Amino acid sequence: MAVGVTACGGGGTQVKTDVGAPPRRAVGLEFVAVPQAVTALCRRAGQPGGPPVYGGPMHPLRVPDYRTFPPRFPIYCPARLPRGAVAEQNLAKGRTAYQWEVVGPSGASMTRYGIPHVVLGGQESPFPLRGARGGTWPPAGSRGAVAELRWPSAITVAGRSTVGGRRALALRFPSRDGPNGAHLAVVFNISGHGYFASVHFDRLSTEARIRLAQACAQWLERQTILPG
C-alpha cells in the first residue's frame, strides 16, 4: 500500500505532495524500483530476534518469506527509493519494533544534499502524534515507548503533517551519535501501529527534507507471506 503525505515544514511553509500517486522524483532525486537486496534487508529487519544483519552486495540475503518467524505486526518496505540507494543494516531486533537503513545514492552531490542516509521502520505500538512545533517529543505521559528503537529523549517537533489522510508529525532528531542523528523524520500510524521515514540529507532545507521523507513514506508497501 502506498501512502500519500502532506506536511508542514519550518518557517510556516506548508509542503504538499500528490496523495493520489507516489512521486517518481523528489528534491532532484529519481525514485526507482529497489533491488532485491533492499527488500530482503527490510523484511529481515522485521523478523523477531536475531543479531544485526548487514545487506548490500557484500552481504547477500535471501528474501524472507515469513512462513517461519513471522513479524508480530505488519512490516512496510519501500517499492522505490532514490536511484543508487544501497541496503546497509538492520538496527533493531524486531520483537516490538524494526528499523533499518540505506545509504546513497552514491552519485548524490554532498555539497547539495549532505549525508545521503535514510532510516525506515516501525513499532508495534502507535506513535503519539501530539506536540507543538518546537516542543519536545514524545509528549509527557504518552504510552508506547520507543525503547527498542533506541531513540534519544531530545527529539523536537518540526511540524504537523498527514500521511494518506492520517495524522502525522515531522520530527527533528538531535545532532548526536545514533542511526537517526541529525535526521528529520515523518512518523504516522497505520491500524494502531507506528511507522516512520527518517532522512539525513543535512544540506537540504527543512521543507526539502520533509518532501524527501514524504516521498520515501509514499512508496512504503505492506509485506505479506510470499507465494511459492
Res 51: pLDDT? 74
Q: What is the mean pLDDT of residues 139-148?
A: 73
Please, what is the Cα angle at 28 between 22 and 33, to 5 degrees? Answer: 45
Element (H, E) at 142: none
**pLDDT band at residue 6 using 50, 70 and 90 as cut-offs:** very low
The residue ranking higher by pLDDT, 178 or 6, is 178
Q: Taking a C-beta distance cutoff of 8 angstroms, is the pair 61, 79 a contact?
A: no
The residue ranking higher by pLDDT, 14 or 193, is 193
Digit-coded pLDDT (tens) for 35-52: 999 999 999 999 987 777
- Give the residue carrying C-alpha cell 524494526: 98
Burial 73-109, CB ≥16 within 10 A → b, else e: bbbbbbbbbbbbbbbbbbbbbbebbbbbbbbbbeebe
User: Does pLDDT of 195 surpass 70?
Assistant: yes
Distance CA 21, CA 18 (A): 6
Ramachandran sector of residue 167 (left: φ over 0; alpha: ψ -120 to 50; beta: rest): beta
Question: Which has the minimum average pLDDT: 111-115, 175-179, 185-189?
Answer: 175-179
**Which set of grid coordinates corresponds to residue 50?**
536475531
Digit-coded pLDDT (tens) for 65-123: 999 999 999 999 999 999 999 999 998 777 899 999 999 888 889 999 999 999 999 99
**pLDDT band at residue 160 using 50, 70 and 90 as cut-offs:** confident
Give the predicted TM-score (pTM) of the model.
0.89
* Total number of residues shown for the chain: 228
- End-to-end CA, the chain: 21
Percent of the chain with pLDDT over 90: 63
| Residue-averaged pLDDT of the chain | 86
Strand order in the sheet with 80-82: 25-26, 29-33, 80-82
User: Which residue in 53, 56, 137, 40 sits closest to 92, CA to CA?
Assistant: 53
User: Does pLDDT of 2 surpass 60?
Assistant: no
